[in-house]
Amino acid sequence: MKEIADKLRKLEQDLSLEKGPFHLFALFLRADAPDVWDVVVAADWMEQDQVGALREISRHVQQSLKPKELLKIAGVIIVSISNPALKAIAATVSGEHLLVEVKDSQFFGQAIKHGYIITSRQKQAA
């Protein structure tokens, strides 16, 4: 799975340059959904048009991964930048374009068996 996470890290870097920085870009394996991973993202630029952002992120994920790798991805989940869980994750792991492995964690009220946090940063005060 690390190879897929590496590919998604490159995708996150490219999208950050094109669209703007992410507050969260992560890959999580939920304990209740074995063998399929969620790509979890949050960014200011997604807030106005989440449907369009979902389409764009999904398209880029499909272009970045091989068909066999795509079978391991359950989907893309967009999280609002106002979600308090983002601050909690950023308190644990903070930085951009990383590849921090997490195991047996609790994020967004979900038990996460395994994950990779690529970017996690707190929203800056206005």
User: For every one of its 126 residues, what pLDDT tens digit does the chain have, with 9 covering 90 and above?
Assistant: 899 999 999 999 999 999 999 999 999 999 998 889 999 999 999 999 999 999 999 999 999 999 999 999 999 999 999 999 998 899 888 999 999 999 999 999 899 999 999 999 976 544
Distance of alpha carbon 72 from alpha carbon 4, whole angstroms: 9
When divided into structural domains, the chain yields a total of 1
Residue 41 placed within a domain: yes
Flag whether 106 is in a domain: yes
Amino acid at 23: H
Q: Is residue 125 situated within a structural domain?
A: no
pLDDT at 88: 87
Residue 126 in domain: no
Check residue 70 and give its pLDDT. Answer: 96
Quote the domain boundaries for residue 112. Answer: 2-120
How confident is the model at residue 126, as a pLDDT? 45
Distance CA 22, CA 45 (A): 9
Smallest Cα–Cα separation from 65: which of 22, 9, 13, 103?
Answer: 9
Global pTM value: 0.93
User: Strands 37-43, 73-78: parallel, antiparallel or unpaired by DSSP?
Assistant: parallel
Task: Tell me the HSE value of 100 on the side-chain side, using a 13 A CA sphere.
Answer: 18
Cβ(74)–Cβ(33) below 8 Å = yes
Q: Is residue 29 part of a domain?
A: yes
User: In the prediction, which pLDDT does 125 show?
Assistant: 47
Domain presence at residue 115: yes
